[in-house]
Amino acid sequence: MNPRTRTWLAAGLAALAAAAAGYALMARAKPADGGGGGGAMPPAKVAVATASQTERPRYLAGIGALEAHRQVEVPAEVEGRVAKILFSPGAEVRAGQPLVQLNDAPEQGDLERLQAQRANAKALLERTRRLLPQQAATQEQLEQAQAGFDAASGELRRLQALIDQKRIKAPFDGKLGLRKVHLGQFVRAGDALVSLTDSRTLYANLTLPETALPMLKQNQAVLLQADAWPGRVFEARLSAIEPQIGGDTRTVRLQATVDNADAALGAGMYVSGRVALPPRPDAIVVPETAISYSTHGDSVFVLRPGETAGSFKAEQVFVKAGDRQDGTVVIEHGLKAGDRVVTSGQLRLYNGAPVQPNDKDTLAAAQERRS
């Protein structure tokens, strides 16, 4: 590097140092000016609510599905060809009402033959009984006649049962589903013909964590909600508790009974359920919007008196949030009844920030107007 270059470089560095020193002096002198543009930031306007102590309902929440009190896929008991379909899909039927008739022509022919054989065996038995006192028949002949009559009666009953099996009937009162067979179709024993459901009473099969087992008792109130009926709550009663904990899921299964006289619910529907527990009498409750969530923990901003009369500042308080219901949350610890907490505008706040409280939550009011 030649001497001229070193001279220009030294001059440039000196100029930069002088500029930096001047900027620092100006920055230190700016607060002392007292000008109108350098005043403190105005208090942040925030919505507030008061933490209240109240009796709080408690629930154990779970999910599950509905099952009809009685539901079955009506099967064919024996194989055969469908000769008659005696129902309409979706119809209400009574117990014992015929649904499907399988071809029973061969059995009807055998029925006449067996009826004649039984009648002949009965006549022989009666004649032998008359002849026995006259010593015109022996005791052995009477026993043989009795055995012949019993055998004919047994064969006749067996055939009548087979004929009855080929006339498929509804096992209970209920509503039929869609038809699964057609006229002339050959069915095997066990083939489903149509579904039959009695949904006047339903079972809600729910699952809860295993820790809930000590708190469950027969006949507890259960509140059910279904996606098909938003906003509507169905009341049920806890009717059965599975004593064994699921080995894979570590959950307990329970069953609640719900009346479905209005047919609003259907078997197979997804439901969410809440098992009612004794209420908590002294819960501290705040709006759910007051909670700020972060990796450091849940917190709220509490209003504290400011430096001057009538002023307020925000203090960040870490809390433990508990049960949530209907837009409110229980605070397990960190707050006391009467504390005023910020419910809207937390993003602009920091610990000690000056605030101007507004009891009306403008954000919540806007959301209500839109809904």
The full set of domain ranges for the chain reads 44-55+281-370, 60-69+200-280, 77-100+169-190, 104-165
pLDDT of 29 reads 38
State yes or no: pLDDT of 6 exceeds 60.
Answer: no
Please report where in the chains the tokens 């050959």 appear, as a residue.
186
Q: How far is CA 189 from the centre of its chain?
A: 36
Q: Which of 54, 49, 48, 50 is nearest to 284 (CA)?
A: 54
> What's the chain's average pLDDT?
85
Q: Higher model confidence: residue 234 or residue 246?
A: 234
Query: What SS3 class is residue 141?
Result: helix
- Does the pTM of the predicted model rise above 0.85? no
Q: Whole-angstrom distance between the N-terminal and C-terminal Cα of the chain? A: 76
Contact 356, 45 (CB under 8 A): yes
77-100+169-190 has which fold?
OB fold (Dihydrolipoamide Acetyltransferase, E2P) (2.40.50)
Rounded to whole angstroms, how far apart are CA atoms 218 and 257?
11
pLDDT of 23 reads 47
The CATH number of the domain covering residues in 44-55+281-370: 2.40.420.20
* Strand order, beta sheet including 186-187: 167-169, 98-102, 80-85, 186-187
Least confident of 149-153, 340-344, 354-358, 366-370: 366-370
Rounded to whole angstroms, how far apart are CA atoms 334 and 327?
19
What is the average per-residue pLDDT within 224-248? 91
What is the average per-residue pLDDT within 160-188? 94
What is the average per-residue pLDDT within 328-353? 90
Q: Which of 356, 317, 316, 348 is nearest to 334 (CA)?
A: 317
pLDDT of 310 reads 82
What is the average per-residue pLDDT within 131-150? 87
User: What are 58's two structure tokens?
Assistant: 């408690």
State yes or no: pLDDT of 138 exceeds 70.
Answer: yes
User: What are 56's two structure tokens?
Assistant: 């709080």
Banded model confidence at residue 66, pLDDT cuts 50, 70, 90? very high
What is the average per-residue pLDDT within 349-353? 88
Rounded to whole angstroms, how far apart are CA atoms 168 and 177?
15
Q: How far is CA 301 from the centre of its chain?
A: 35
Contacts of 36 (CB under 8 A, 6+ apart): none
Q: Which of 149, 112, 151 is nearest to 127 (CA)?
A: 149
Rounded to whole angstroms, how far apart are CA atoms 358 and 48?
6
The CATH number of the domain covering residues in 104-165: 1.10.287
Amino acid at 140: E
pLDDT of 363 reads 46
Q: In 10 A of CB 137, how many CB atoms?
A: 16
Banded model confidence at residue 311, pLDDT cuts 50, 70, 90? confident
Class of domain 60-69+200-280: mainly beta
Contact 303, 317 (CB under 8 A): no
The 10s digit of each residue's pLDDT in 271-292 is 999 999 888 888 999 999 999 8
What is the average per-residue pLDDT within 148-157? 92
pLDDT of 65 reads 95
Amino acid at 368: E
Rounded-to-10 torsion of CA 171, 172, 174, 178: 0
* DSSP per position, 247-290: TTT-EEEEEEEEE-TT--S-TT-EEEEEEEEEEEEEEEEEEGGG
State yes or no: pLDDT of 325 exceeds 90.
Answer: no
* DSSP per position, 214-231: GG--TT-EEEEEETTSTT
Banded model confidence at residue 27, pLDDT cuts 50, 70, 90? very low
